[in-house]
């Protein structure tokens, strides 16, 4: 299976399940930037439920801007805030300590462009999951890609997204299972079993 997706900031679980099961993955790097998407945010599970971690960016509505040209705002210490939120949400998870020392340095790095940050977060996830995804990059905007266009997974409003197979989450006793969070949520709760979990998902459900 070949597919195309947008780079995202610590992508959601369906994105990683579809990439891991694909024979070829193409990252769309020529699309326009759109607000209210996972291009600059990721979702985790905190004590009060779903939390969106958003990277501040410089964006203007007056002209279309390519995703690759969007710069990260350096006016606030978002890296420290994101890591603090992740640590607060997952410090009691089964595998947080297992991955902590590999993830924390990521939030001490400096990035200028949002797309570069997103791709770097995906490269880190590959390492943590113990997988090799040798993706390619689009040479221009793919208006009619074949055979599977999964770029819709970048949208934060996901009415058409099917439910994943439930796994135990830190606060599921309080709020139940929250579907399709950042792949970080899966890692902290399932650890090395996360890879097999991703492989077990029926990605054909995304096509219907």
Among the listed residues 169, 138, 146, the one whose alpha carbon sits nearest the alpha carbon of residue 67: 138
pTM above 0.85, yes or no: yes
137-150 b/e (C-beta count within 10 Å ≥ 16 → b): eeeeeeeebeebbb
Radius of gyration from C-alpha coordinates of the chain: 16
> What's the pLDDT band for 174 if we cut at 50, 70, 90?
very high
Domains of the chain: which residue ranges?
A: 2-206
How does pLDDT run across 14-67, given as a tens digit for each residue?
A: 999 999 999 899 999 888 888 888 899 999 999 999 999 999 998 776 667 888
Residue 157: pLDDT over 80: no
């Amino acid at each position: 299976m070949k597919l195309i997706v947008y780079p995202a900031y610590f992508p959601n679980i369906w994105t990683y399940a579809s990439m891991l099961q694909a024979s070829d993955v193409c990252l769309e790097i020529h699309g326009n930037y759109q607000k209210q998407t996972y291009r600059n945010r990721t979702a985790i599970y905190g004590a009060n439920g779903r939390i969106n971690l958003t990277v501040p960016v410089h964006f203007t509505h007056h002209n279309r801007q390519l995703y690759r040209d969007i710069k990260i705002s350096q006016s606030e210490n978002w890296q420290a805030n994101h890591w603090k939120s992740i640590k607060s949400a997952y410090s009691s998870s089964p595998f947080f300590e297992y991955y902590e020392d590999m993830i924390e340095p990521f939030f001490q790095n400096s990035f200028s462009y949002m797309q570069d940050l997103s791709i770097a977060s995906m490269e880190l996830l590959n390492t943590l999951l113990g997988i090799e995804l040798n993706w390619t990059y689009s040479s221009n905007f793919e208006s009619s890609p074949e055979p599977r266009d999964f770029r819709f997974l970048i949208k934060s409003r996901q009415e058409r997204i099917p439910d994943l197979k439930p796994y135990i989450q830190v606060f599921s006793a309080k709020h139940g299972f929250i579907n399709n969070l950042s792949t970080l949520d899966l890692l902290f709760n399932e650890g090395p079993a996360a890879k097999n979990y991703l492989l077990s998902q029926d990605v054909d459900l995304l096509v219907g």
